[in-house]
Amino acid sequence: MFDNICKFLAENFRDDLVTWLLGNPVKLTQLKPTELSSEPIRADSLILLQSEDLVLHTEFQTDADDTMAFRMLDYRVRVYRRFPNKEMRQIVIYLRPTNSDLVQQNCFRLSKTYHEFEVIRLWEMSPETFLQHLGLLPFATLSKTNEPQVILNQVAQIIETVTDRNVKSNLTAASAILANLVISENIIKGILRSDIMQESPIYQEIFHSGELRGELRGKLEGKLEGKLEGKLEGKLEGKLEEKERIALSLLRQGINIGVIADVTELPLETIYILQKIITQNNN
Protein backbone atom coordinates (compact mmCIF):
# COMPACT_ATOMS: atom_id res chain seq x y z
CA MET A 1 0.00 0.00 0.00
CA PHE A 2 2.70 2.52 1.00
CA ASP A 3 4.86 1.70 -2.01
CA ASN A 4 1.88 2.22 -4.30
CA ILE A 5 1.13 5.62 -2.77
CA CYS A 6 4.73 6.64 -3.50
CA LYS A 7 4.39 5.42 -7.05
CA PHE A 8 1.18 7.43 -7.41
CA LEU A 9 2.98 10.57 -6.21
CA ALA A 10 5.92 9.97 -8.51
CA GLU A 11 3.66 9.58 -11.52
CA ASN A 12 1.40 12.55 -10.72
CA PHE A 13 4.03 14.97 -9.38
CA ARG A 14 6.88 13.91 -11.64
CA ASP A 15 8.61 17.29 -11.86
CA ASP A 16 8.86 17.58 -8.06
CA LEU A 17 10.35 14.09 -7.79
CA VAL A 18 12.90 14.77 -10.53
CA THR A 19 13.91 18.13 -9.05
CA TRP A 20 14.52 16.47 -5.69
CA LEU A 21 16.48 13.50 -6.99
CA LEU A 22 18.42 15.10 -9.83
CA GLY A 23 18.78 18.61 -8.46
CA ASN A 24 17.11 20.32 -11.43
CA PRO A 25 13.76 20.03 -13.23
CA VAL A 26 14.86 17.84 -16.15
CA LYS A 27 11.90 16.89 -18.34
CA LEU A 28 11.49 13.12 -18.23
CA THR A 29 8.80 10.90 -19.71
CA GLN A 30 7.60 7.60 -18.30
CA LEU A 31 9.26 4.40 -19.48
CA LYS A 32 7.07 1.32 -19.19
CA PRO A 33 8.74 -1.80 -17.69
CA THR A 34 7.32 -3.83 -20.58
CA GLU A 35 9.58 -1.87 -22.93
CA LEU A 36 12.64 -3.45 -21.33
CA SER A 37 11.90 -7.13 -21.65
CA SER A 38 9.12 -9.62 -22.29
CA GLU A 39 10.14 -11.42 -19.11
CA PRO A 40 8.25 -10.69 -15.87
CA ILE A 41 9.40 -7.55 -14.09
CA ARG A 42 8.35 -6.39 -10.64
CA ALA A 43 6.52 -3.12 -11.15
CA ASP A 44 4.62 -2.42 -7.94
CA SER A 45 7.06 0.19 -6.63
CA LEU A 46 9.15 0.72 -9.76
CA ILE A 47 9.26 4.12 -11.48
CA LEU A 48 11.20 4.49 -14.72
CA LEU A 49 11.52 7.92 -16.32
CA GLN A 50 13.59 8.80 -19.35
CA SER A 51 14.95 11.71 -21.33
CA GLU A 52 17.00 11.69 -24.51
CA ASP A 53 20.18 10.71 -22.67
CA LEU A 54 19.09 9.59 -19.19
CA VAL A 55 16.96 6.94 -17.50
CA LEU A 56 15.95 7.59 -13.89
CA HIS A 57 15.06 4.41 -12.02
CA THR A 58 13.43 4.95 -8.62
CA GLU A 59 12.15 2.34 -6.18
CA PHE A 60 10.27 3.10 -2.98
CA GLN A 61 10.55 0.47 -0.26
CA THR A 62 8.64 0.41 3.00
CA ASP A 63 11.04 -2.10 4.57
CA ALA A 64 14.42 -3.65 3.89
CA ASP A 65 14.60 -6.07 0.98
CA ASP A 66 17.37 -8.64 0.59
CA THR A 67 16.76 -8.91 -3.17
CA MET A 68 17.12 -5.19 -3.83
CA ALA A 69 20.79 -5.14 -4.83
CA PHE A 70 20.33 -7.87 -7.41
CA ARG A 71 17.20 -6.18 -8.77
CA MET A 72 19.17 -2.99 -9.31
CA LEU A 73 21.72 -4.91 -11.37
CA ASP A 74 18.96 -6.70 -13.27
CA TYR A 75 17.19 -3.45 -14.18
CA ARG A 76 20.47 -1.81 -15.16
CA VAL A 77 21.25 -4.59 -17.60
CA ARG A 78 17.72 -4.51 -19.04
CA VAL A 79 17.94 -0.77 -19.62
CA TYR A 80 21.39 -1.11 -21.17
CA ARG A 81 20.11 -3.77 -23.53
CA ARG A 82 17.32 -1.44 -24.66
CA PHE A 83 19.20 1.89 -24.45
CA PRO A 84 22.96 1.23 -24.54
CA ASN A 85 23.86 4.91 -24.95
CA LYS A 86 21.78 6.30 -22.09
CA GLU A 87 23.14 7.11 -18.66
CA MET A 88 21.14 5.61 -15.78
CA ARG A 89 20.54 6.85 -12.24
CA GLN A 90 19.17 4.25 -9.83
CA ILE A 91 17.84 5.34 -6.46
CA VAL A 92 16.23 3.22 -3.74
CA ILE A 93 14.16 5.22 -1.24
CA TYR A 94 13.40 3.54 2.09
CA LEU A 95 10.38 4.86 3.98
CA ARG A 96 10.34 3.28 7.44
CA PRO A 97 13.21 3.58 9.98
CA THR A 98 15.00 0.31 10.61
CA ASN A 99 18.29 -0.95 12.00
CA SER A 100 18.67 -3.50 9.21
CA ASP A 101 22.02 -3.37 7.43
CA LEU A 102 20.17 -3.97 4.16
CA VAL A 103 19.08 -0.33 3.94
CA GLN A 104 22.76 0.65 3.96
CA GLN A 105 23.53 -1.59 1.00
CA ASN A 106 24.24 0.34 -2.20
CA CYS A 107 25.96 -2.21 -4.38
CA PHE A 108 25.78 -5.75 -5.72
CA ARG A 109 28.83 -8.04 -5.72
CA LEU A 110 29.18 -11.44 -7.32
CA SER A 111 32.71 -12.65 -7.96
CA LYS A 112 34.08 -10.05 -10.43
CA THR A 113 30.68 -8.48 -11.05
CA TYR A 114 30.14 -5.18 -9.25
CA HIS A 115 27.29 -2.69 -9.56
CA GLU A 116 26.50 0.47 -7.55
CA PHE A 117 23.26 2.36 -6.99
CA GLU A 118 22.09 5.16 -4.69
CA VAL A 119 20.12 4.83 -1.46
CA ILE A 120 18.02 7.42 0.35
CA ARG A 121 16.71 6.78 3.87
CA LEU A 122 13.91 9.28 4.41
CA TRP A 123 14.39 9.40 8.18
CA GLU A 124 17.83 10.95 7.57
CA MET A 125 16.51 13.73 5.30
CA SER A 126 15.62 17.27 6.41
CA PRO A 127 11.87 18.03 6.46
CA GLU A 128 12.56 21.24 4.51
CA THR A 129 13.51 19.12 1.53
CA PHE A 130 9.91 17.98 1.23
CA LEU A 131 8.04 21.06 2.44
CA GLN A 132 9.28 23.07 -0.55
CA HIS A 133 7.42 21.07 -3.20
CA LEU A 134 3.75 20.09 -3.25
CA GLY A 135 4.38 16.63 -4.67
CA LEU A 136 6.85 15.82 -1.89
CA LEU A 137 4.70 16.98 1.04
CA PRO A 138 3.46 13.47 1.97
CA PHE A 139 7.07 12.39 2.60
CA ALA A 140 7.73 15.17 5.11
CA THR A 141 6.45 13.29 8.18
CA LEU A 142 8.86 10.43 7.40
CA SER A 143 11.87 12.75 7.46
CA LYS A 144 14.35 13.54 10.24
CA THR A 145 12.27 14.86 13.14
CA ASN A 146 11.40 14.02 16.72
CA GLU A 147 7.93 15.54 16.31
CA PRO A 148 6.35 14.16 13.14
CA GLN A 149 2.94 15.48 14.22
CA VAL A 150 4.34 19.03 14.08
CA ILE A 151 5.56 18.40 10.55
CA LEU A 152 2.17 16.95 9.62
CA ASN A 153 0.56 20.16 10.87
CA GLN A 154 2.82 22.13 8.55
CA VAL A 155 1.90 19.82 5.70
CA ALA A 156 -1.81 20.30 6.43
CA GLN A 157 -1.43 24.08 6.44
CA ILE A 158 0.31 24.04 3.06
CA ILE A 159 -2.26 21.67 1.55
CA GLU A 160 -5.05 23.93 2.76
CA THR A 161 -3.73 26.69 0.48
CA VAL A 162 -4.06 24.49 -2.62
CA THR A 163 -6.94 25.68 -4.79
CA ASP A 164 -7.18 22.67 -7.10
CA ARG A 165 -9.64 20.35 -5.31
CA ASN A 166 -8.30 17.20 -6.96
CA VAL A 167 -4.68 17.98 -6.07
CA LYS A 168 -5.72 18.89 -2.53
CA SER A 169 -7.60 15.62 -1.99
CA ASN A 170 -4.78 13.48 -3.41
CA LEU A 171 -2.12 15.19 -1.29
CA THR A 172 -4.30 14.89 1.82
CA ALA A 173 -4.91 11.17 1.25
CA ALA A 174 -1.27 10.42 0.45
CA SER A 175 -0.08 12.39 3.49
CA ALA A 176 -2.50 10.57 5.79
CA ILE A 177 -1.61 7.11 4.53
CA LEU A 178 2.18 7.60 4.67
CA ALA A 179 1.93 9.29 8.07
CA ASN A 180 0.52 5.99 9.40
CA LEU A 181 4.11 4.71 9.38
CA VAL A 182 5.12 7.08 12.20
CA ILE A 183 1.98 8.71 13.69
CA SER A 184 -1.10 7.23 15.31
CA GLU A 185 -4.37 7.33 13.38
CA ASN A 186 -6.06 9.45 16.05
CA ILE A 187 -3.51 12.22 15.61
CA ILE A 188 -3.66 12.02 11.82
CA LYS A 189 -7.45 12.25 11.87
CA GLY A 190 -7.23 15.33 14.09
CA ILE A 191 -4.84 17.11 11.73
CA LEU A 192 -5.93 16.21 8.19
CA ARG A 193 -9.45 16.74 6.84
CA SER A 194 -11.08 13.36 6.23
CA ASP A 195 -13.79 14.88 4.02
CA ILE A 196 -11.15 16.12 1.55
CA MET A 197 -9.18 12.89 1.83
CA GLN A 198 -12.17 10.75 0.86
CA GLU A 199 -12.54 12.58 -2.46
CA SER A 200 -9.18 11.26 -3.64
CA PRO A 201 -9.30 8.49 -6.29
CA ILE A 202 -6.20 6.86 -4.80
CA TYR A 203 -7.85 6.81 -1.36
CA GLN A 204 -11.03 5.29 -2.78
CA GLU A 205 -9.03 2.66 -4.65
CA ILE A 206 -7.13 1.59 -1.55
CA PHE A 207 -10.13 1.90 0.75
CA HIS A 208 -12.35 -0.31 -1.35
CA SER A 209 -9.63 -2.82 -2.20
CA GLY A 210 -9.34 -3.58 1.52
CA GLU A 211 -5.74 -2.35 1.81
CA LEU A 212 -6.43 0.56 4.14
CA ARG A 213 -6.66 -1.08 7.53
CA GLY A 214 -6.68 -0.07 11.17
CA GLU A 215 -8.34 2.61 13.22
CA LEU A 216 -8.24 5.26 10.48
CA ARG A 217 -10.41 3.16 8.18
CA GLY A 218 -12.58 1.97 11.05
CA LYS A 219 -13.41 5.48 12.15
CA LEU A 220 -14.03 6.80 8.67
CA GLU A 221 -16.16 3.87 7.58
CA GLY A 222 -17.72 2.69 10.80
CA LYS A 223 -19.20 5.98 11.89
CA LEU A 224 -20.89 6.65 8.56
CA GLU A 225 -21.92 3.08 7.86
CA GLY A 226 -23.32 2.68 11.35
CA LYS A 227 -25.40 5.79 10.93
CA LEU A 228 -26.76 4.68 7.57
CA GLU A 229 -27.40 1.11 8.61
CA GLY A 230 -29.23 2.40 11.66
CA LYS A 231 -31.58 4.20 9.33
CA LEU A 232 -32.18 0.97 7.46
CA GLU A 233 -33.98 -0.73 10.30
CA GLY A 234 -37.49 -1.41 9.10
CA LYS A 235 -38.27 -0.04 5.67
CA LEU A 236 -35.01 1.10 4.05
CA GLU A 237 -36.20 4.06 2.02
CA GLY A 238 -38.75 5.25 4.56
CA LYS A 239 -36.07 6.18 7.06
CA LEU A 240 -33.58 7.79 4.71
CA GLU A 241 -33.22 11.48 4.01
CA GLU A 242 -34.28 12.84 0.64
CA LYS A 243 -30.81 12.95 -0.93
CA GLU A 244 -30.09 9.41 0.21
CA ARG A 245 -33.37 8.16 -1.24
CA ILE A 246 -32.50 9.78 -4.57
CA ALA A 247 -29.04 8.24 -4.48
CA LEU A 248 -30.51 4.80 -3.80
CA SER A 249 -32.90 5.16 -6.71
CA LEU A 250 -30.12 6.20 -9.08
CA LEU A 251 -27.86 3.38 -7.88
CA ARG A 252 -30.58 0.85 -8.63
CA GLN A 253 -30.81 2.29 -12.14
CA GLY A 254 -27.09 1.72 -12.63
CA ILE A 255 -26.19 5.42 -12.81
CA ASN A 256 -22.47 6.24 -12.46
CA ILE A 257 -21.44 7.01 -8.87
CA GLY A 258 -19.68 10.24 -9.90
CA VAL A 259 -22.87 11.46 -11.56
CA ILE A 260 -24.88 10.58 -8.44
CA ALA A 261 -22.45 12.55 -6.29
CA ASP A 262 -22.88 15.59 -8.54
CA VAL A 263 -26.67 15.32 -8.56
CA THR A 264 -27.22 14.67 -4.85
CA GLU A 265 -24.16 16.52 -3.48
CA LEU A 266 -23.61 13.57 -1.15
CA PRO A 267 -20.04 12.58 -0.20
CA LEU A 268 -18.66 9.74 -2.32
CA GLU A 269 -18.20 7.68 0.84
CA THR A 270 -21.92 7.88 1.60
CA ILE A 271 -22.77 6.70 -1.91
CA TYR A 272 -20.30 3.81 -1.73
CA ILE A 273 -21.86 2.66 1.55
CA LEU A 274 -25.38 2.96 0.12
CA GLN A 275 -24.23 0.82 -2.78
CA LYS A 276 -22.84 -1.73 -0.33
CA ILE A 277 -26.10 -1.78 1.59
CA ILE A 278 -28.11 -2.38 -1.60
CA THR A 279 -25.85 -5.31 -2.42
CA GLN A 280 -26.26 -6.77 1.07
CA ASN A 281 -30.04 -6.44 0.93
CA ASN A 282 -30.17 -8.13 -2.47
CA ASN A 283 -28.23 -11.18 -1.25
pLDDT in tens, 195-212: 887 788 777 766 655 555
Which pLDDT does position 226 carry in this prediction? 52
Percentage above 90 pLDDT, the chain: 48
Q: Which of 48-57, 94-103, 214-223 has the lowest mean pLDDT?
A: 214-223
Whole-angstrom Cα distance, residue 120 to residue 90?
Answer: 11
Q: First CA to last CA across the chain, in angstroms?
A: 30
Is residue 236 over pLDDT 60?
no
If pLDDT is split at 50, 70 and 90, which confidence band does 266 have? confident
* Beta carbons within 8 Å of 281's beta carbon, 6+ residues apart: 232, 236
pLDDT over 60 (residue 36) = yes
Average pLDDT over residues 4-10: 85
108 has pLDDT over 90: yes
Going from N- to C-terminal start, the domains of the chain cover: 2-124, 126-213, 222-283
The mean pLDDT of 76-91, rounded to a whole number, is 94
Q: What is the pLDDT of residue 220?
A: 43
Give the residue-averaged pLDDT of 11-17: 89
pLDDT confidence of residue 135: 94
How confident is the model over 4-25, as a mean pLDDT?
A: 87
Q: Which residue has the higher pLDDT, 72 or 228?
A: 72
**Rg (the chain; Cα; Å):** 22
State the average pLDDT for the chain: 82
Burial class (CB in 10 A: 0-12, 13-18, 19+), 254: exposed
pLDDT at 126: 95
- Asked if 38 contacts 249 with a C-beta cutoff of 8 angstroms, the reply is no
The SS3 of residue 143 is coil
Q: What b/e sequence results for 131-152 when a residue is b if at least 16 CB atoms lie within 10 Å of its CB, and e otherwise?
A: bebbbbbbbbbbbebeebbebb
Query: Confidence band (pLDDT; 50, 70, 90) for 221?
Result: very low
**What average pLDDT score do residues 109-134 get?**
95
Inform me whether the pLDDT recorded for 181 exceeds 50.
yes
Tell me the average pLDDT across 128-135: 94
Q: Which residues of 186-220 are buried (b: 16+ CB within 10 A; e: fewer)?
A: eebbebbbbebbbbbebbbebbeeeebeeebeeeb
* pLDDT at 224 > cutoff 80: no
Write down the pLDDT at residue 21. Answer: 93
**DSSP-H helix ranges across the chain:** 2-12, 14-22, 68-82, 128-131, 148-160, 165-179, 185-191, 194-197, 201-209, 215-231, 242-252, 257-264, 268-282
Confidence tier at 233 by pLDDT (50, 70, 90): very low
**Residue 223 pLDDT > 50:** no
